[in-house]
A and B are shown apart, each in its own frame.
Chain A
Amino acid sequence: MRFNTPRLRNVAGMATGISLLALSSAWAADVTVWCWAPEFNGAAMNEAIARYTAAHPGDTITVVDFAKGDLETKLQTQLASGTTEGLPDIVLIEDYGAQKYLLSFPGAFEPLTDKIDYSQFADYKVSLATVDGQTYSLPFDSGVTGLFYRSDLLAEAGYDSAALQDITWEQMMEIGLAVKAKTGKPMFSMDQADAGTMRMMLQSAGSWYFNDDGSANIVGNPVFKASLETWVKMLQTPDLYKAVSGWGDYTGAFNNGDVAGVYTGVWMTGGIKGNNMSGKWGVAPLPKLSNVEGAGHASNLGGSSWYVLSSGPAKDTAIDFLKTIWAGDADFYQKILVGQGAFGAYLPAREGEAYSATDEYFGGEAVWANFSTWQAAIPGVNYGIFTNEVDAAIVAQIPALVAGGSIDEAIAAIDAQVAQQIQ
């Protein structure tokens, strides 16, 4: 019998082909990631993807970006509809909303407790993504707060960085008024429809809108009252700030030099550094509440984390990706710190070169090392599930308060609206 070589080869080839196909479908995966802010979150994610796929050439990971509010709308529609088709494998969620999603849609997110070593992440970021002993997030960027200020303008008014080190909000207001008197520029841009100031002040004293059991902690919460009073006092001082509405107006004011500073989360650093004002900026600790027990200079604003969807077909690859890069590659964090100003909550990254470097833009200060120190001091609080509801109730009272309304009545009204909304 003549051996039909070509055919045999074909068959053999086919067999290899099939096994390769089977093999590749076992490890080649398509992972989809949803996030907002392509220049920040998207860029950091793409850097991580480049590192991962270099070692895993069979996998593709794609970032799809949406406006932040749109992403939340989309995610909520999909989860509420109960259909999993079309959901991404990984999604970015802002920390304030974490508990809302985890509790509203039980089973939708994959617990990562036994996959990720959470001792390597900042505590407060881990606890806000933990429900019933299971942690769901891969903590990404920190929102550790600081006071960014125009050192040149403050110097004109006679203040150097030492004068800003351990100050209260009242002292901050004095400084702001002096800056205005000397330079003609208000200290801050403030949006009275944005409750961010309240959140920063509350957390700096270890308090929040809610108690640990989730009940509202508004009436009779001394920190809440002190924070509201302080914020309103600032809003009642027109020379202290430029009144703005909305994010673009708010960031525009300090980016183009209309105001002398901003107190906000560390993620703003990249934006501030984009302005060609090297050496004219400094970073100081957040001012603290006076006469409040436990008040400090460390707080948080915003920040977000990655979550894995349980329904994702490429879930295992997604987890492996997060574990390998986001929970294992300290060098990666140096890269995104320099590139995007993304300040990770991954503690080993602190040992890296970029985190200890000084920055000429901020007058040669070791800003990242300072942020690291402050981050370690952020009091952990329970963000709960109704943060947006309380924000809305607070800002509804602000115009009346600024016009001289009673704080106690406003707090009672906020409490009543919250009670009504969270039923």
Chain B
Amino acid sequence: MSLTSKLTSLLMQAALWLAAFISVFPFYWMIAGATNTANDITGGKFTLGSNLIPNITKFFELVDVPRIFFNSFFVAIAGTFFTLAISSLAGYGFEIFRSKTRDRVFGGLLLMLSVPFAAMMIPLFVMFSAAGIMNTYLAIILPGVASIFMIFYFRQNTKAFPSELRDAARMDGLKEWQIFIKIYIPVMRSTYAAAMIILFMTNWNAYLWPLIVLQTNEMKTIQLVVASLATAYTPDYGLIMVANVLATLPTILVFFLLQRRFVEGMLGGVK
């Protein structure tokens, strides 16, 4: 390796570690906050403190933690599963069976995606209320299950799905749905893994729509609880930081568990 390329590689590594530091620092700040009192935090203290236990105790006193976490997990897992199923099917369909009409429909979907949610909240609310399913898990999950975003994602990734694989499967007499389930899903598992991370995160952090459809304390998700804690007349930041750490951990774990999947490489997997 030449000296310049060694230098470039060193510089690149330094840049990456700097980016990683900037990315992670606020998380450290959050964890440090969870161990400090509110006044220490607003005073700018960023070393670890000794107030972790009181903060946690207070959080568990104020909030029905198991119930709230159950709600969040249920919504995130069910939402991820159904969205993956419905949307990857559609993304595959739009790309593999291309037609002029369907391409136009797809263009229309992209336009629909651009309508701001704030403009649709009221009519959506009217529909769910008429259906009598307010304040249910179903109501939180349903509007997001057919995700235009995910359809688009799967469609773009399907472009990399080797057509030889499909042709070979057809020769073997596999039906179209069998090709999807037995060939496409295993081959595209890095795509699925990335989608799963994104969807879990989106569902876990969902805010505005759950706020609108949920009506009782028993149904609240962790995000709503944290937001309510944060708007006290004199906010207790130690408490809020504990809540934030707990509300962030699950998504980090999911990323950790799934990231290996999407870096393993699909071609290595099929061989």
Q: Do chains A and B touch in the complex (CB under 8 A)?
A: yes
- Interface of chain A residues 185 through 229 with chain B (CB within 8 A): none
Q: Within 8 Å of chain B (Cβ to Cβ): is A155?
A: no
- In the complex, A267→B215 CA distance in Å? 28
Q: Are A81 and B228 in contact (CB under 8 A)?
A: no
Residues A74 and B231 in contact in the complex (CB < 8 Å), given A38-B62, A83-B129, A255-B42: no
Residues in B whose Cβ lies below 8 Å from that of A65: 228
Q: Which residue of A lies closest to B220 (CB)?
A: A64
Q: Are A67 and B230 in contact (CB under 8 A)?
A: yes
Q: Chain B contact residues (Cβ within 8 angstroms of A): what range?
A: 35 or more
- In the complex, A62→B212 CA distance in Å? 18
Residues A248 and B237 in contact in the complex (CB < 8 Å), given A81-B122, A83-B125, A86-B134: yes
Binary CB contact string for chain A from 19 to 38 against chain B (1 if under 8 A, 0 otherwise): 00000000000001000111
Residues A77 and B234 in contact in the complex (CB < 8 Å), given A38-B62, A62-B217, A252-B42: no
- In the complex, A74→B134 CA distance in Å? 13
Residues in A whose Cβ lies below 8 Å from that of B234: 251, 255, 268, 270-271, 274
What's the minimum C-beta distance from B240 to chain A, rounded to whole angstroms? 9
Residues in A whose Cβ lies below 8 Å from that of B212: 73-74, 77
Q: Which residue of A lies closest to B134 (CB)?
A: A86
Binary CB contact string for chain A from 359 to 383 against chain B (1 if under 8 A, 0 otherwise): 0000000000000000000000000
Q: Within 8 Å of chain B (Cβ to Cβ): is A258?
A: yes
Q: Are A86 and B129 in contact (CB under 8 A)?
A: yes
Q: Are A66 and B126 in contact (CB under 8 A)?
A: no
Q: Are A268 and B42 in contact (CB under 8 A)?
A: no
Choice from B40, B129, B211 contacting A81 with Cβ under 8 Å:
B129
Interface size on A, residues (CB 8 A): 39
- Interface of chain B residues 220 through 249 with chain A (CB within 8 A): 224, 227-237
Residues in B whose Cβ lies below 8 Å from that of A85: 129, 132, 134
Residues in A whose Cβ lies below 8 Å from that of B125: 77-78, 81, 83
Residues in B whose Cβ lies below 8 Å from that of A258: 43
Q: Which residue of B lies closest to A247 (CB)?
A: B235
- In the complex, A10→B147 CA distance in Å? 57
Residues in B whose Cβ lies below 8 Å from that of A249: 42
Interface of B is mostly: helix
Choice from A36, A62, A270 contacting B231 with Cβ under 8 Å:
A36
What's the minimum C-beta distance from A39 to chain B, rounded to whole angstroms? 5
Q: Within 8 Å of chain B (Cβ to Cβ): is A256?
A: yes
- In the complex, A7→B228 CA distance in Å? 55
Q: Within 8 Å of chain B (Cβ to Cβ): is A70?
A: yes
Q: Within 8 Å of chain B (Cβ to Cβ): is A103?
A: no
Q: Are A66 and B224 in contact (CB under 8 A)?
A: yes
Q: Are B122 and A248 in contact (CB under 8 A)?
A: no
- Interface of chain B residues 112 through 139 with chain A (CB within 8 A): 121-123, 125-126, 129-130, 132, 134-135
Q: Are B235 and A64 in contact (CB under 8 A)?
A: no
Residues in B whose Cβ lies below 8 Å from that of A253: 42
What's the minimum C-beta distance from A130 to chain B, rounded to whole angstroms? 27
Q: Within 8 Å of chain A (Cβ to Cβ): is B38?
A: yes
- Interface of chain B residues 86 through 133 with chain A (CB within 8 A): 121-123, 125-126, 129-130, 132
Binary CB contact string for chain A from 77 to 94 against chain B (1 if under 8 A, 0 otherwise): 110111101100000000
Q: Which residue of B lies closest to A274 (CB)?
A: B234
Taking Cβ atoms with an 8 Å cutoff, the residues of A that contact B are: 32, 36-40, 62, 64-70, 73-74, 77-78, 80-83, 85-86, 247-249, 251-253, 255-256, 258, 267-268, 270-271, 274-275
Can you sample 26 A-B contacts with CB below 8 Å? Answer: A36-B228, A40-B233, A64-B217, A66-B211, A66-B224, A67-B227, A67-B230, A68-B231, A69-B231, A70-B227, A73-B211, A77-B121, A77-B122, A78-B125, A81-B126, A83-B126, A83-B129, A83-B130, A85-B129, A252-B41, A255-B39, A256-B40, A256-B43, A258-B43, A270-B233, A274-B234
